[in-house]
């Protein structure tokens, strides 16, 4: 029988972990904003998964995946952010593609293991403003970067039920560990070329899906972002806490 308290405990742990990460990293600022990792939970040839997510900071991710064979899937991901505030403007764009292997297993054949790798490119444009006695000064930082990533997803489809207002919503949940290598191709500060930076990021996330219609699910994602190199501009200054909607067509259906 599905343990409601266990799922709620995991959800609260994820929320507090994400909020804690945001608290400690709030003082940091990075030219790289991680997108929500693609966790399509593919299970059979011909399955199509598409989803959209938005973080509390306003970074919007769009992910899609298609199973071209029984164990081979392809990915197309993107994210965009445009934030304008009194002391800081931030624009960020990212597009990436990838491919990999997936398989199902377990007594009910509803556990899924996925391994993907891919590459992409993006850019960021940040302007910091500081009000002084002499007036307002600004610091504009523009960067273009490339990205390579590899990730492993483990998930359980329709592993339990959540009841609300007399209705039952099947729940799926899982985790993903993504390793991303990001390197600047070009970096300017107030129009003057600067030394470029690179970094390796470990990006673990946890996600929970609530199926509200046969092909539509709501997803909550929490996670962190750790940089393995000490950098000034390409730092691990942003965590993932997002809410999204998932559309899935095809695949192995649970009873």
Mean predicted confidence (pLDDT) in 73-82: 97
Q: What are phi and psi for residue 139, nearest 5 degrees?
A: -130, 110
Percent of the chain with pLDDT over 70: 85
Q: CA-CA distance, 103 to 85, in Å (whole number)?
A: 45
| Mean pLDDT, range 30-39, rounded to an integer | 94
Distances 180 to 32, 120, 185, 251 between C-alpha atoms, Å? 11, 10, 16, 28
In the chain, the domains with their CATH numbers are 4-249 (2.40.128)
Whether pLDDT at 13 is above 80: no
Give the pLDDT mean for 119-143.
91
Residue in the block written with tokens 């300017």: 188
Tokens of 155: 């998930």
Identify which has the larger pLDDT, 177 or 160: 177
* Residue 15 confidence (pLDDT) above 90: no
Q: Are 3 and 171 in contact (CB under 8 A)?
A: no
235, pLDDT greater than 60: yes
| SS3 per residue for 219-234 | EEEEECCEECCCCCCC
pLDDT one-digit tens code per residue, 180-198 = 999 999 999 999 999 999 9
Q: What confidence score (pLDDT) does residue 131 get? A: 82
How far from 36 is each of 1, 67, 111, 126, CA to CA, in Å? 31, 20, 21, 21
Nearest-CA neighbor of 113 among 78, 76, 75, 151?
151
pTM for the whole thing? 0.85
């Amino acid at each position: 029988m599905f343990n409601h308290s266990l799922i709620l405990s995991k959800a609260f742990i994820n929320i507090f972990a994400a909020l804690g990460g945001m608290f400690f990293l709030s003082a940091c600022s990075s030219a790289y904003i991680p997108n929500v990792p693609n966790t399509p939970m593919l299970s059979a040839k011909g399955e199509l998964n598409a989803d959209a997510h938005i973080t509390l900071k306003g970074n919007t991710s769009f992910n899609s995946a298609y199973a071209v064979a029984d164990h081979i899937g392809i990915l197309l991901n993107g994210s965009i952010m445009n934030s304008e505030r009194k002391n800081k403007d931030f624009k960020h764009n990212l597009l990436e593609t990838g491919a990999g292997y997936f398989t199902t297993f377990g007594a009910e054949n509803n556990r899924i293991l996925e391994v993907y790798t891919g590459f992409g490119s993006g850019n960021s444009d940040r302007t910091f403003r500081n009000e002084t006695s002499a007036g307002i000064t600004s610091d504009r930082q523009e960067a273009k970067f490339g990205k390579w990533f590899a990730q492993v997803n483990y998930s359980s489809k329709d592993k339990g039920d959540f009841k609300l207002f007399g209705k039952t919503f099947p729940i799926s949940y899982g985790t993903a560990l993504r390793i991303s290598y990001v390197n600047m191709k070009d970096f300017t500060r107030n129009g003057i070329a600067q030394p470029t930076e690179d970094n390796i990021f470990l990006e673990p996330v946890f996600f929970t899906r609530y199926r509200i219609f046969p092909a539509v699910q709501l997803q909550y994602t929490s996670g962190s972002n750790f940089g393995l190199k000490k950098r000034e501009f390409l730092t691990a200054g942003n965590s993932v806490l997002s809410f999204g909607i998932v559309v899935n067509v095809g695949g192995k259906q649970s009873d």
